A and B are shown apart, each in its own frame.
Chain A
Amino acid sequence: MGIKSFSRARAIHVMLVYTGGCNGCDIEIVNSILSPRFDAEQYNVFLTWNPREADVLVVTGPVTHLNRKPLEAIYEAIPNPKLVVAAGSCALMGGVYKNCYGDIPSEEIEGPVENIIPVNAKVPGCAVRPQDVLAGVVSLLPTLLDAD
């Protein structure tokens, strides 16, 4: 284990980007990372809002048209190695919003997240359960720590 991995293993920083879902997953995730009940900090997982600090990007919501550029910019700003967790059925397949105009694809929804940035782990659920999000983030840790 290199010195980078050694220090990274003690502070995994997760950044949450919210791209236009219904807010349910979003609050569940902020709860799971922030709240003392699920307490992600016991696994050395911390919440950050600065992409330069982040190791794992958690994306929720179907990516709406106006959210595409911010999401790409945030992904670019994260230093390597970076991993992406798509959380919630909107992020995985566009949810109920994707095919909102019947057979005609919606112009508002650019998602799922896979179309825009590469995704490493998928957490299903509507809304996601905090335990699942924690499991998703923790399952990525070996990949992150073996990166260099």
Chain B
Amino acid sequence: MDKKVPRSNIIETEIPMGTVHPAALEPYRVRFFVEDEIVQEAEITIGVNHRGIERIMEGLPVEKANALTEKICGICSNSHIWNSCRTAEMGLGIEIPQRALYIRVIMGELERLHSHFLYLAHGCEVLSHETFSMRVFYLREIVMELLAMIGGNRVQYGCSVLGGVRPRCDLDEAKLLRLKNDMDAVEEGLTGFVERFLADSVVQSRITGIGVLPQKQAIELAVTGPTLRATGVARDLRTTMFEYDEFDFNVITQPDGDVKSNLVMRALESFESIRIIRQAIANIPEGKVVNRDWEMVDTDISESYIEVPRGTLYHSYALESGRVRHCIIRTPSMANIGAMQYACIGDQITDAQLCIVQCDPCFTCTDRAIEIIRR
């Protein structure tokens, strides 16, 4: 595939979108430089959402800071608290009970399901196919109610604590049975959706070959997560995480890097998540869910990477008399902004928003670094 070259010197029209725009729920600003309705260059500006969460975490007791990381993002809140606890556990050398690891994996995969369903629904909505969008939203409600059943809240569950999971999130027989039955329902619904989605020739012609991100470019832009796997690179951090050692799953890839690849990629990955949850339900070990037997010591900066629905999430901080110091968080959407800008180039302006949405943007997580210029 030829390399697409951004051309900013011969610009005919500039079309700004944002900061509040109907197709993108979150506030961000994007400028399209357009010539003959073809986007020549796109420029995404973030920083509208900046709240300074790393600054708030600085100096907080580590338990409080863990709870606060949930407020970074309302979509992948469990991933943040999971990774934040994991960072402290790595630094302090806390041993986590096997049952707690299984519950964390179940929560992580449920979250991946709801995030991918949100992506599919939002993608269909931007495609203006309301029926598909509604069907996926309806399916997503099953997953949301499962998350509410385990965590007690529909969005921020606070599942992980230092040394395991909250006792409230322990799974008894009835909960496991409901989880098992609902996974069957979700799989059935998703299969129906994917079959109809792939058979719909109108939708397929609308999304095939749109917003292409070539593999070479994706690697060059350091794209992460499903957006990278949709260009054919089989790179999934779950294969290296010790939590997933006992689970059998495939790393899904798609060849083209266009909108179709991205949508199909997320749908197929959801089936793998269902598979992992089923294995976890079948093999969940007995025992306690939280290990309280550890001591707080000062640590050096410890860091942890996990695979979250959108890609690689990085947390790092040091502990100083039980408080968080030098906190750095890097969310996957930060890496994918380059992909969003690149995917727009060479497509019609009408497809530009679709090209951005195909990279699954979450600007809420991303907006944490800001440069304040005082005049």
Chain A residues in the interface with B (C-beta under 8 A): 16-28, 30-31, 34-37, 49-50, 62, 64, 66-67, 70, 74, 95-97, 100-101, 106-109, 126-127, 129-130
* Structural contact, A70 and B27, CB atoms closer than 8 A: yes
* Structural contact, A108 and B74, CB atoms closer than 8 A: no
Report the separation of the CA atoms of residues A74 and B141 in the bound assembly, to the nearest whole angstrom: 31
Closest to B365 in A: A23
Give min CB distance, A108 to chain B, whole Å. Answer: 6
Q: List 30 A-B contacts (CB under 8 A).
A: A20-B51, A20-B367, A21-B74, A22-B70, A22-B71, A22-B73, A23-B364, A24-B74, A24-B75, A25-B155, A28-B154, A31-B140, A35-B137, A36-B137, A37-B138, A37-B141, A50-B22, A66-B50, A96-B56, A97-B56, A100-B51, A100-B52, A100-B56, A101-B52, A101-B56, A106-B51, A108-B51, A108-B52, A127-B74, A130-B154
Closest to A98 in B: B51
> Of residues B49, B50, B73, B134, which shows the largest number of chain A Cβ atoms within 10 Å of its Cβ?
B49
* Structural contact, A35 and B26, CB atoms closer than 8 A: no
Give min CB distance, A34 to chain B, whole Å. Answer: 6
Known: A17-B20, A18-B26. A96 touches B74 (CB 8 A): no
Partner of B27, one of A19, A50, A100, A126: A19
Report the separation of the CA atoms of residues A23 and B133 in the bound assembly, to the nearest whole angstrom: 19
* Structural contact, A70 and B77, CB atoms closer than 8 A: no
* Structural contact, A23 and B156, CB atoms closer than 8 A: no
Closest to B48 in A: A66
Report the separation of the CA atoms of residues A106 and B49 in the bound assembly, to the nearest whole angstrom: 14
* Structural contact, A23 and B74, CB atoms closer than 8 A: yes
> Of residues A22, A36, A108, which shows the largest number of chain B Cβ atoms within 10 Å of its Cβ?
A22
Query: Which B residues, 37 to 76, have Cβ-Cβ distances below 8 Å to chain A?
Result: 47-53, 55-56, 68, 70-75
Give min CB distance, B172 to chain A, whole Å. Answer: 24
Report the separation of the CA atoms of residues A17 and B75 in the bound assembly, to the nearest whole angstrom: 17
Mask for B238-253, Cβ within 8 A of A = 1, else 0? 0000000000000000
What DSSP secondary structure best describes chain A's contact surface? mixed
Chain A residues whose CB sits within 8 angstroms of the CB of B22 once the complex forms: 49-50
B169 within 8 A of A: no
Chain B residues whose CB sits within 8 angstroms of the CB of A50 once the complex forms: 22
B212 within 8 A of A: no
Report the separation of the CA atoms of residues A91 and B317 in the bound assembly, to the nearest whole angstrom: 30
* Structural contact, A101 and B26, CB atoms closer than 8 A: no
* Structural contact, B74 and A22, CB atoms closer than 8 A: yes
Closest to A107 in B: B372
B153 within 8 A of A: yes
Chain B residues whose CB sits within 8 angstroms of the CB of A20 once the complex forms: 27, 48-51, 364, 367
Chain A residues whose CB sits within 8 angstroms of the CB of B56 once the complex forms: 96-97, 100-101
Chain B residues whose CB sits within 8 angstroms of the CB of A37 once the complex forms: 137-138, 141
Closest to B20 in A: A70
* Structural contact, A25 and B138, CB atoms closer than 8 A: no
* Structural contact, B74 and A64, CB atoms closer than 8 A: no
B118 within 8 A of A: yes
* Structural contact, B154 and A22, CB atoms closer than 8 A: no
* Structural contact, A66 and B47, CB atoms closer than 8 A: yes
Chain A residues whose CB sits within 8 angstroms of the CB of B55 once the complex forms: 100-101
Closest to B138 in A: A36
Chain A residues whose CB sits within 8 angstroms of the CB of B156 once the complex forms: 24, 126-127
Chain A residues whose CB sits within 8 angstroms of the CB of B372 once the complex forms: 107
Give min CB distance, A21 to chain B, whole Å. Answer: 7
Mask for B2-25, Cβ within 8 A of A = 1, else 0? 000000000000000001101001
